[in-house]
Chains A and B, each alone.
Chain A
Amino acid sequence: EDQVTQSPEALRLQEGESSSLNCSYTVSGLRGLFWYRQDPGKGPEFLFTLYSAGEEKEKERLKATLTKKESFLHITAPKPEDSATYLCAVQAPAAGGSYIPTFGRGTSLIVHP
């Protein structure tokens, strides 16, 4: 069964203190690993898609990387507005030829000023 595990569950940082969030996965035939940001009371906002090991993508203070077993979301010099829950999802072929994303439980990030 496909599994996605995110760590840590919660992370508190001081403004400017860089860190990384982890997403470990076990799937057969990965067809994309996705990172989303979710603010309280809102739907998840798409951040990145990674398709193959070695791939990296950046957006402002965020950088996502992918290996064959895990993905990291690096946050460089975070600001309070980066506080949110970050969700990781993997997509792989399911029964019947469909593709259903499997989500991790998320990492709740709080950045203190």
Chain B
Amino acid sequence: GAVVSQHPSRVICKSGTSVKIECRSLDFQATTMFWYRQFPKKSLMLMATSNEGSKATYEQGVEKDKFLINHASLTLSTLTVTSAHPEDSSFYICSARTLWIEAFFGQGTRLTVV
């Protein structure tokens, strides 16, 4: 299957600082990338959908000014959590897809805000 690399896998940051998470499709061009948040023992919660070269579409209830998404190329999308607070601590996962076929997931990023 296709490979999606997500970095970092774990990050601890101080409250009020910003954190950037990268998602790269290594062996295919991803026209669409998805960002999810997952709470312990819960399913995936879609945060936003981004298409290369256009603004991300955020799901209802997701603050676009707090969770900045950039999809500047066909192989890279970034999620920046701005002014992070402890309630933003979570497991964040990206997935990448070409057209409407199956999406492949990154390894996930465990964010802890202290």
Binding site for B on A (CB under 8 A): 31-32, 34, 36, 41-46, 49, 87, 91, 98-101, 103-106, 108
CB distance from B48 to the nearest CB of A (A): 11
B43 near A49: Cβ-Cβ < 8 Å: no
The residues in B between 56 and 101 inclusive whose CB is less than 8 angstroms from any CB of A are 57, 91, 93, 95, 100-101
CB distance from A24 to the nearest CB of B (A): 15
Nearest B residue to A6, CB-CB: B43
Interface size on B, as a range, is 20 to 34
A43 to B41 CA separation, bound complex (whole angstroms): 13
Per DSSP, are chain A's interface residues mostly helix, strand or loop, or mixed? Answer: strand
Question: Which of chain A's residues have a CB closer than 8 A to the CB of B105?
Answer: 36, 43-46
Question: Which of chain A's residues have a CB closer than 8 A to the CB of B57?
Answer: 98
